[in-house]
Amino acid sequence: MLLGKAEQDEAAVRELLRNANVAGEIVAFHAQQAAEKSLRAVLAVHGVRFGRTHNIATLIDLAREAGESVPEWVEEATALTPFGVAFRYEDLSAEVEPLDREATYELVRRLLSWAEGRVRPRPS
């Protein structure tokens, strides 16, 4: 279920990234959600309880503690953490650099693909 929800957020990022009328923080919110749900899906496979955190670094740490081999590039997703909560309720746009929409989408796509490989491994 979590992976399916992550796929929906990834689709939202893909559809919104080229629309200049959609604020960057909206695109980043869906990117953060896709990253969070992807990591939660991996944690669920390991039976790890992850609570209500939206902190990507915490989820990565939990995955590593569970013995999951998390590639170092996944840590780039920690930059999305503020978009999961703070940007939904506050205007912090002056405090962060403009969002590289294409790079953000590529990161989400890679993270989702990695999570799918952990959750739905292909038969050898």
Q: How confident is the model at residue 5 (pLDDT cuts 50, 70, 90)?
A: very high
CB 120 within 8 A of CB 42: no
User: Total structural domains in the chain?
Assistant: 1
Residue 65 maps to a domain? yes
Residue 105, pLDDT > 60, answer: yes
Q: Helix 2-16 to helix 101-119 angle, to the nearest 10 degrees?
A: 160
Residue 16 maps to a domain? yes
Q: How confident is the model at residue 53 (pLDDT cuts 50, 70, 90)?
A: confident
Mean residue pLDDT across the chain = 90
Residue 93, pLDDT > 60, answer: no
- The pLDDT of 97-124, averaged and rounded, is 90
Q: Which CATH number do you get for residue 24?
A: 1.20.120.330
- The pLDDT of 13-36, averaged and rounded, is 93
SS3 90: coil
Residue 79 maps to a domain? yes
Residue 17 maps to a domain? yes
Provide the domain limits for residue 10: 2-119
| Most confidently modeled range among 63-67, 86-90, 93-97 | 63-67
Of 87, 10, 122, 46, which Cα lies nearest the Cα of 60?
46
Residue 6 maps to a domain? yes
